[in-house]
Structure 1
Amino acid sequence: MKGKLRPVGSPVPFPRISERQELPWAALYHTEFMGSGTEALSLAVAIAIRRHSQVSTPEVIIPAYGCPDLVSAIIAQGAKPVLVDLLPNGPHMNDVGVRGATTPSTVAVVGVGFLGIPERLEELSGICREHNLLLIEDSAQCFPPASASKPHADLVVLSFGRGKPINLMGGGALLVRTDLAGQAEEAVAQYPVSVLKVGMKWLIKRLLFNLLMRRLPYYVLERMPLLGIGETSFHRLDTISRLDLPESVLQAGLRDFQRRPLIHQRYDTELAGLEAWGWKCLASDRSEMSRNDPQQPVPLLRYPVLAPSKDMRDRALAVLNSEGIGASAFYGRTLPQIEGVEAAVGGRDYPVASDFASRLLTLPTHEGVTSADVTLIGRILFSVAES
């Protein structure tokens, strides 16, 4: 097949007027739409800081492996990001490390969902309750958020940008647990409201965006070095605003997500036996989240696999991409190793997170992935594993 299968991202749905469905978290959380997921996280940090107004230099705990936007959102509020290493062979923060990083200056802990795999929010919630901290669930990569059914988090962050579970070409949301909504009003009200207009400009942008996600256009785009497709970089957050999001746009996103195929289940079958060669399929031991039924799984954003070594991961990436499969190392390194981040977090080493970053391989799970793609991917990974 000509072109290249993109690593992530679903087309932007057309906003039709139809039957309205209730938001999965409506009974537990108040929803505040924001300009982006990063802005939503920054507002969550602002709420935590106001709750601990006596702290002169507030600190927020985050994982050492993650998106640099975590750091951007925190420093935009004048707070200090405090990094914690991971548990071995997975994306979850080490709870012992979280306890050790907690100080009188800590105001919040951010539990970050990973490609559809939620953080261990119950454990983190227990730590936060002990120390009177707010727990923020960053569910930018997970939908619905884990707290929609069990409200362990005080605040929940969603993102509607490209490459996220619901792609609306931008925007995000902060969910505030109903018992905290009154306390959060002052922090929320300080930010202006921008309006998303679904006019001709938006519709043309949508058509162009969806066109460029196809295999041949994506193949061409990826080879334009100035665009930096797929690169992980640090950008400061300069503006924060709330968003007046048309209900038709959000409802279209919800409907589109619910109809998405469960590609990760095909990988589960195709890659069965790979772990005998020292690989680890991280999706195999994830907690299944639900749309409405606790027994009904939801799509993964990407399918994450840990190779036995960096060398084997890199060889698999090279072969997959040469065969037209948009496999990725994702962030590729820990937060302190990303240019521009070290000044905010320090240069300390996080050995478990570094090992995780060096061996992680992610595979596409969007609706453009065919059975033939999954078969090809399986054949390549087993070939590399056996070599």
Structure 2
Amino acid sequence: MILHGDLAPVGNRISLEQNADCILEVMFGEHQYWLDSGTSALALALLDAKANFPDVQKPRAIIPGYCCPDLVAACVYAGVEAVAVDIGANDPAYDLAQLRLHLDANVIAVIAINFLGIRERLDELRVLIAELNLPARLIEDNAQWFPAAASEMEFHADYVTFSFGRGKPMSLLGGGLLCAKRPLVASAVTSIEKSAQPSRLLPLKIAAYNWLLKPQLYQLLNRNPVLRLGETRYVPLDYIAQFDSYRRTLVTANFNLHSARNNDLSRSFDSVVLAGGLQQLDQNCAARQMQLLRYPLLCADEKIRDRLLAQLSAAGLGASPMYAAAIDQIAGVANFIIVPEPLHNARHFAQRFMTLPVHSHVSQPYRARILSLLCAAGVNPVSSAAH
């Protein structure tokens, strides 16, 4: 089998087709705030939650122990202390027993991550908050998932955020959206700066991004040790601004592209990793799974993960460790978070976790090669990597 080039871990082509009507403005609820990034959307939600609890002297927000440092950046911008709580042993969702221990009157928000398309247990979080008689707001962070149809746009959290950044489910190389149950308070809204005029180079940047996603070109970036692609680190949020007018015209065409995608490749991976005994994610994750941004694979131990990751990476097959550590061990984060209990599960999860690509550039030869390596790495016999 001859493969030409390296796969990116994530990323689909961005359409440059423009449309004056933004279809999502009609499909989402009435309280929408279109912003310059997903981090800005999360920070704005936190600013509003904070404004609703003026008597809380030291407002806090709960974040999961395995997550993107952009959550911390949003908390810092909003003047809210980020409290990291451990996740499940084999589940990116919260350890509910640990969460219960750290929910108190200072907590103004709990951030619930839709992890790569595996939903957090929002109903259970709401029940837990109600049982403790706390007014904390629930924020559903959907930076790693986007609805593909109107039927998926009914939300139940107090705030729901989305990101249109690079490598997101519906990427526009920038932008974010906050949907809220009720209008935001004036003090939060006044923090939004007017958007600058979109750069005339933005269409060229998007076209270049589309080209660089092609395996033959991505290989040039991926094999360059100076670039350190995919490195996870803390980046502060400096401002919140409005969504720009040019990206708004791209929303409809790119939503239509996103809606047309399917989960066929994810099901192919399922058939091999489950039969081979590779997948260690809690079985409850499957029931919460929707369309995936990347395929999540949790190995039995670090040694198996590292060996499989090395094999897939050497072959240019788009495998990635995602976040290589628990949130308190990410570069630049330590001074900005509170960790009341050791994040044992998050650290063990990070050591064993990796992702596989499911984007449109994973053609049949790449798919066959990935399945073959997964089959060979399985702890149980698998009849065929082609199934």
TM-score, normalised via structure 1 length: 0.89
User: 1:78 offset after TM fit, Å?
Assistant: 1.6
Residue of structure 2 equivalent to 1:306: 298
The offset of 1:140, in angstroms, is 0.4
**How far does residue 282 in structure 1 lie from its aligned partner after superposition?**
7.1
Alignment root-mean-square deviation, CA: 2.4
One-letter amino acid matched to 2:311: V
SS at match of 1:114: coil
State yes or no: 1:357 paired with 2:350.
yes
Select the residue among 149, 164, 169 that pairs with 1:165. Answer: 169
What one-letter code is carried by the residue in structure 1 that aligns with 2:212?
Answer: L
Q: Does 1:141 align with 2:144?
A: yes
Tell me what 1:294 maps to. Answer: none
Q: Tell me what 2:71 maps to.
A: 70
Matched AA of 1:335 = I
Q: Does 1:377 align with 2:370?
A: yes
Q: Residue deviations 1:104-157, cap 9 Å, x none?
A: 211100001101111111111223343111100000001129995543210011
2:19 matched to which residue of 1?
17
* Counterparts of 1:185 and 1:42, CA distance in 2: 15
Q: Structure 1, residues 64-116: CA drift from partner, whole Å, max 9, x if none? A: 10001111110112211011111121110112222211122111000011011
Identity of matched residues, %: 33
Residue 292 of structure 1 is matched in structure 2 by none
Report SS of the residue matched to 2:271: helix
What's 2:134 paired with?
131
Q: Relative to structure 1, is the Cα distance of residues 281 and 225 closer, same or farther in structure 2, using a 3 angstrom cutoff?
A: farther
- Structure 1 moving runs of 4+ over 6 Å: 281-284
- DSSP-derived class of the 2:98 partner: helix
Instruction: State how far apart, in whole Å, the 1-side matches of 2:120 and 2:141 are.
Output: 9
User: 5+ unaligned residues in a row in structure 2: which ranges?
Assistant: 381-387
Distance 1:159 1:279, change over 3 A: same
Q: Which amino acid aligns with 2:296?
A: P
Which one of the candidate residues 129, 135, 157 is aligned to 1:153? Answer: 157
Higher relative contact order (CA 8 A, sep 6+): 2
Residues of 2 paired with 1:120 and 1:314: CA distance?
Answer: 30
* Correspondence for 2:313: 321
**Does the Cα contact within 8 Å between 2:23 and 2:251 map onto a contact in 1?**
no
Residue matched to 1:271: 273
1:286-324 per-position Cα deviation (integer Å, ceiling 9, x unaligned): 4354xxxxxxxxx31000011110000000000001112
Give CA-to-partner distance per residue, 1:161-203, whole Å, 9 cap, x none. Answer: 01110010111111111xx21x434311332120563x75222
Comparing 366-375 with 263-272, greater Cα deviation is found at 263-272
Corresponding residue for 2:329? 337
Distance 1:342 1:123 in 2: 29
Residue 282 to residue 315, structure 1, CA distance change in 2 (3 Å): farther
Contact 1:283 1:304 (8 Å CA) reproduced: no
> Aligned in 2, Cα 1:337/1:165: closer, same or farther, shift over 3 Å?
same
Aligned equivalents of 1:265 and 1:250: distance in 2? Answer: 28
Matches within 5 A, 1:17-56: 17=19, 21-22=23-24, 26=28, 28-56=29-57
3-state SS of the aligned residue for 1:243? Answer: coil
- Say how many residue pairs are matched: 372
Cα offset for 1:18? Answer: 8.1
| TM, length-normalised to structure 2 | 0.89
